[in-house]
Amino acid sequence: MRVVRKLVAVARRGAFIARIVAVADAFDAMGSDRPYRKGMDDGTLDTILHAGAGKQWDARVIEAFFRARADIREISRRERESLRLDLQPLL
């Protein structure tokens, strides 16, 4: 029985981590520029995430996202800047 409880605990943690990743992926996908469209502005992105809380995404994860939103956006901005390529010299 002890092994079953441990497996259930591991499965629950894994499922919660997957819900965190789902919100992170949505934030990145909607907020990032793509070759075919610009990333969404912060207001639109916030509206979509709030609307999906408890429906599309785990409400607890969305709540945690908004508590850490300023830090997440700053980290995201810095990471995206470091990945920008200057293609002008190649043209």
pLDDT for position 84: 66
R_g (Cα) of the chain, nearest Å: 17
Percent of the chain with pLDDT over 70: 89
Average of per-residue pLDDT across 26-55:
94
Q: When comparing pLDDT for 79 and 49, which is higher?
A: 49
For residue 49, which of 76, 75, 67, 36 has the smallest C-alpha distance?
67
pLDDT for position 91: 57
Task: Write the pLDDT tens digit of every residue in 60-89.
Answer: 999 999 999 999 999 888 887 777 666 566
- Is the overall model pTM greater than 0.85, yes or no? no
